[in-house]
Chain A
Amino acid sequence: MRVTRVYRFAASHRLHAASLSSDQNTELYGKCNNPYGHGHDYILHVSVTGEPDRRTGRVVDIAALDRYVHERLLRLYDHSDLNLDVPDFAGVPTTENLAVDSAERLRQAWPFQGASLDRVFIQETDRNTIELQLTKG
Chain B
Amino acid sequence: MLITRKAEFSASHRCYNAELSEAENRDLYGERASSHGHGHNYVVEVTLEGEPDNITGMVVDLKLLKQILHEHVVDVMDHRHLNHEVAPFDKVVPTVENVAREIWRRLEPQLRFPHARLHNVRLYETADLYVDYAEAAAK
Contacts and interface: CB of A to CB of B under 8 A. Distances in A.
Nearest to A119: B132
Interface of A: 1-7, 47, 52, 55-59, 61-63
B13 to A, nearest CB: 11
Contacts of B129: 3-6, 62
Q: Which of A1, A57, A59, A62 has most chain B Cβ within 10 Å?
A: A57
Give the 9 A-B residue pairs with the shortest CB-CB distance, closest first. A57-B93, A57-B95, A6-B128, A2-B132, A52-B97, A57-B98, A1-B133, A4-B130, A3-B131
Given A1-B97, A1-B100, A3-B97, A55 B19 contact: yes
Given A1-B97, A57-B94, A58-B97, 7 more contacts: A1-B133, A2-B132, A3-B129, A6-B128, A6-B129, A56-B28, A57-B15
Contacts of A61: 28
Interface in B96-122: 96-98, 100-101
Interface string B60-97: 00000000000000000000000000000000111111
B98 A52 contact: yes
Contacts of A47: 132
Interface of B: 15, 17, 19-20, 28-30, 92-98, 100-101, 127-133
A137 to B, nearest CB: 9
B17 A55 contact: yes
B128 A1 contact: no
A134 to B, nearest CB: 15
Nearest to B89: A57
A49 to B, nearest CB: 9
